[in-house]
Structure 1
Amino acid sequence: MTMSTHYEPSEPTRAEMEAMDGPAVLEFGTPWCGHCQAAQPHLEAALDTHPEVPHIKIEDGKGKPLGRSFKVKLWPTLVFLRDGQEINRLVRPINDRTIREALASITA
């Protein structure tokens, strides 16, 4: 799967995330967040090396249950899952190297 370019306004449930098989990356943020916008080229470069990994962009905000269940405090927050379990997390990544390393932790 290629990188998602828009945030999903309706979010999946935590149970749906925990039921996923294989690796996945959840990206919590908003379209208007400057930190989220700045991270996009790095995220795209890293995800291009792992096209098999689903990338799910979740529009987060106050009272959004999925973000709260993952204890998201800052945007963007990337949660790296394998078989529905959190393996790694990056908050406000500033380069593609750290994203690639986190991807390696769920694809190895």
Structure 2
Amino acid sequence: MLAMTLGYNENYSEKAPEKEALDHLAGYVLVEFGAPWCVHCQAAVSVIECFMKAYPTMPHVKVFDGKGKRLGRQFGVKLWPSLILLKDGQEIGRWVRVTKIENLDQAKAMLDHCG
């Protein structure tokens, strides 16, 4: 069973879940790739936290990414932070280096429309 934080997750997990575990999740999940020392990730913290406040029951999987980290490569992550919205294990949206809440309007529309 994959351990997940519901709502905003402030901590990066050193141990990434297996892609297969994410593929089998039901419903919506926000997967965030980044690193605690990354200035772009630090700049995005308040934006992501604000966004997640609207979805307190949606899991937020925060993955510490980097060289040799398999999950980030499987998702084709090149820049941090990368936010990937999954629905029933399938990627339905991706946002990179968000700097303001409006950058996530498309994600909000997807979640609010489809519930």
Shorter-chain-normalised TM-score: which range? Answer: over 0.9
Picking from 59, 66, 69, the partner of 1:61 is 66
Which residue of structure 2 lines up, in the alignment, with residue 9 of structure 1? 14
Gaps of 5+ in 2: 1-5
Which residue of structure 1 lines up, in the alignment, with residue 24 of structure 2? 19
CA RMSD after TM alignment: 1.2
Q: Percent identity?
A: 42
Gaps of 5+ in 1: none
Cα distance per residue 1:66-98 (max 9 Å; x no partner): 000000000000000000000000010111122
Q: TM-score, normalised by structure 2?
A: 0.89
SS in structure 1 of the partner of residue 30 of structure 2: strand
Which residue of structure 2 lines up, in the alignment, with residue 88 of structure 1? 93
Picking from 32, 36, 49, the partner of 1:31 is 36
Question: Matched residues in 2 for 1:103 and 1:10: separation?
Answer: 28
Cα distance per residue 1:10-57 (max 9 Å; x no partner): 000110010000000000000000000000100011110111210010
Aligned residues: 108
Q: TM-score, normalised by structure 1?
A: 0.94
Instruction: Read off the aligned partner of 1:81 and give its amino acid letter.
Output: L
